[in-house]
Amino acid sequence: MTKLSVNINKIATLRNSRGGNVPNLLKVAADIQGFGAEGVTIHPRPDERHIRYQDAYDLKSIVTTEYNIEGNPIDKFKQMVLEIKPTQVTLVPDSVDQLTSNAGWDTITHQSYLKEVIAEFKEAGIRTSIFIDTDLKLIEAAAKTGTDRVELYTEEFATQYEKGNKEAVKQYEEAAILANELGLGVNAGHDLSLDNIQFFKQNIPHLDEVSIGHALISESLYLGLENVVNMYLHRLQ
């Protein structure tokens, strides 16, 4: 079964909009796991506009499933991850002022850099994953970095699926098959939703984990958080 990791950045965004501690990020993380989610994902950014670095430390004792921290491995981020030692670190090539992730790593150009960073995290016992597009050459290069997994960047799939182009899933299927052949685990995330997750799951072999935040929290405004978490789990079976 593909694991569901819930990205709680949007909960932090809502909290930060008023100051104070409502909604309580730690309680939401605990509740999400109680509802059945198999992981919690956060993506702290340097400006701390949603998840704060302190949140990452505070969540360590709350996340009893799989704890996934995403981000660009700048020095501050690396230090935090090495101190917390989450289950998984997902490397994302975001610029400092980026609104949201919009591209995967060029694992050919940045291969030496990624090797160095990944070796440091793996030495600390942290599973590593690289946020990546479906270009098969980039998948092959990713395998040479020493990473444990790749996370397929799924925005293009989601956009095409909404337009009725279901053939767009093929490039993700091919990327997942190659990654598996190269000994890499396969994660996926970005713009996956209740509308497209079941189709994606049914067509992507070897899918270890999906990380879903924006859509899941938005859907929960209408349907309720516990209900939505279980709707995702049902579609991923």
Which residue of the set 50, 66, 151, 190 is catalytic?
190
Q: Which residue is associated with the tokens 């991850």?
A: 81
Mind listing the pLDDT tens digit for each residue in 168-191? 999 999 999 999 999 999 999 999
Phi, psi (5° rounding) for residue 93?
-85, 50
Span 84-93, average pLDDT: 97
The pLDDT value recorded for residue 94 is: 74
- Count the Cβ atoms, other than its own, within 10 Å of residue 120: 15
- What phi-psi label fits residue 204: left (phi over 0), alpha (psi between -120 and 50 degrees) or beta? beta
Strand boundaries in the chain, DSSP class E? 3-7, 39-42, 66-71, 88-91, 127-132, 149-153, 185-189, 207-212
Span 18-34, average pLDDT: 97
Which residue of the set 66, 70, 209, 219 is catalytic?
70
- Count the Cβ atoms, other than its own, within 10 Å of residue 34: 11
Q: Which amino acid is at 138?
A: L
Please give the domain boundaries of the chain with CATH numbers for all domains. Answer: 3-236 (3.20.20.70)
Check: pTM over 0.85? Answer yes or no. Answer: yes
3-class DSSP assignment, residue 188: strand
Task: Give the model's confidence band at 211: pLDDT under 50 very low, under 70 low, under 90 confident, else very high.
Answer: very high
> What's the Rg (C-alpha) of the chain?
17
Residue 93's closest CA among 64, 113, 79? Answer: 113
d(CA 44, CA 65): 19
Task: Give the model's confidence band at 104: pLDDT under 50 very low, under 70 low, under 90 confident, else very high.
Answer: confident
Span 74-78, average pLDDT: 95
CB 192 within 8 A of CB 199: no
Task: Give the model's confidence band at 96: pLDDT under 50 very low, under 70 low, under 90 confident, else very high.
Answer: low
CB 128 within 8 A of CB 91: yes
- Count the Cβ atoms, other than its own, within 10 Å of residue 74: 12
Assess whether 50 carries a catalytic annotation.
no
Q: Which amino acid is at 50?
A: H
The pLDDT value recorded for residue 102 is: 57
The pLDDT value recorded for residue 117 is: 97
Assess whether 234 carries a catalytic annotation.
no
Span 142-153, average pLDDT: 98
Span 218-234, average pLDDT: 98
Q: Is the pLDDT of residue 12 over 80?
A: yes
Span 63-78, average pLDDT: 96
Helices vs strands, H then E, count in the chain:
11, 8
Q: Is the pLDDT of residue 106 over 70?
A: yes
Residue 8's closest CA among 17, 23, 18, 20? Answer: 23
The pLDDT value recorded for residue 1 is: 87
Residue 237's closest CA among 38, 20, 18? Answer: 38
